[in-house]
Amino acid sequence: MTKTLSLTTPEPSDATARSVNAPEAAEPSRHPHRPVRSFVLREGRLTAGQERAFRELWPRFGVDWQPDRVLDPCALFGVAPPAGTTQPAAPVQPQATAAGFGAEQIARELASDATPSSPWSEAVQTSEQIEDGRPRTRPITLEIGFGDGESLAAMAAAEPARDFIGLEVHRPGVGHLLLALERLGLDNVRVLRADASALLASRLPAGSLDRVQLFFPDPWPKKRHHKRRIVQPGFIAAVARALRPGGTFHLATDWPPYAEWMLEMLDGAPELFVNQAGPGRYAERPASRPITKFERRGQRLGHPVHDLLYRRR
């Protein structure tokens, strides 16, 4: 038997979910119709292999998601959520958070380049590749901005009992990961070409994730660009909402001022997160985190790397 339904329209949620998801006010913009983004969409040519990956592998691993849809991570992997552990997402407007502003416009741009649609995009369409009968307790990791996806694929290979959802906006990076998944023969990864801020804003069931990973996000070093950093109070609240109690938020950066920014904001939300290394402290890199492509680049430039590990209350 196979399972259906990975995408559903949002429904009203209870007051608890709403309060954790309470959006911060969007920063006033000189261009009110232009979204504040944590990324620049670089065109980037696809290699022939990546072109093939989109044609042949996207239908197997890819998920077409739109900002007016809720993504049900459990259904995505062919298992139903354990009763009572998740709540439906609150119908928050995507533009309610600074980073999520203009989500529909961003989604249109991300979808504009003829990515073949995947069976996952049809809410009641299920894929032949989905095996049923997995335990309902398989934990789910969400990785935001996986770059070329090599470290995500390595983690998924090392932890076959865990499911992974990768988010990235850069098309060649998505193609690269699809090829890695094929090469390693993995079936515990799903891939979205989507803006993480929009998805997290309210489009994941509360408490549905076990771990969220944010490795080497763009540091936006200039002060006038700090508002483009993905780590903001509204983003932190959205991550907290999507994580189960006791779940993990793991961040890493090679830009010390961004590390301080992350530490200050996350330690500043003690009602949501507990710093695993102790207040004001960075964590050791867990052996389970492979060195990423951007980390290697940072190392060549002599940048120190900081890991931050938080437990969801």
Ligand X SMILES: C[S@@+](CC[C@H](N)C(=O)[O-])C[C@H]1O[C@@H](n2cnc3c(N)ncnc32)[C@H](O)[C@@H]1O
Catalytic residue numbers read 218
Q: What's the closest the beta carbon of residue 248 comes to ligand X, in angstroms?
A: 17
Structure tokens at 253: 């950066």
Q: Is 293 in the site for ligand X (CB under 6 A)?
A: yes
- Round to whole Å and give the CA distance between 23 and 119: 32
Question: Could you say which of 17, 26, 35, 39 contacts ligand X (CB under 6 A)?
Answer: 39
Q: Which stretch binds ligand X (CB under 6 A): 117-125, 189-197, 203-211, 304-312?
A: 189-197
Q: Does 163 bind ligand X (CB under 6 A)?
A: no
Provide, rounded to whole angstroms, the least separation between the CB of residue 309 and ligand X: 16
Q: Residue 267 CB: number of other CB atoms within 10 A?
A: 17
CA quadruple 5, 6, 11, 17: dihedral positive or negative?
positive
Q: How far is the CB of 284 from ligand X (least distance, A)?
A: 18
Q: State the minimum distance, in angstroms, from the CB of residue 91 to ligand X.
A: 21
Q: Is 255 in the site for ligand X (CB under 6 A)?
A: no
Tokens of 106: 């961003």
287 half-sphere exposure, CB direction, 13 A CA radius? 1
Question: Contact between 145 and ligand X (CB under 6 A)?
Answer: yes
* Alpha-carbon gap, residue 121 to 63, rounded angstroms: 6
Residue 292 as a binder of ligand X (CB under 6 A): the answer is yes
Closest Cα partner for 164 from 179, 151, 183, 173? 151
71 vs 65: CA distance, rounded Å: 7
Number of residues that bind ligand X (CB under 6 A): 23
Q: Which range binds ligand X by CB under 6 A, 17-25, 50-58, 122-130, 140-148? A: 140-148
Residue 62 contacts ligand X per CB under 6 A: no
Residues between 212 and 241 that touch ligand X (CB under 6 A): 215-218, 230
CA separation, residue 301 to residues 156, 161, 221, 304 (Å): 28, 36, 16, 9
**Does residue 73 touch ligand X according to CB under 6 A?**
no
When binding is defined by CB under 6 A, the residue of 75, 103, 189, 196 that contacts ligand X is 196
CA 112 to CA 109: how far, in whole Å? 5
Chain residues binding ligand X by CB under 6 A are 38-39, 144-147, 167-170, 173, 195-197, 215-218, 230, 292-295
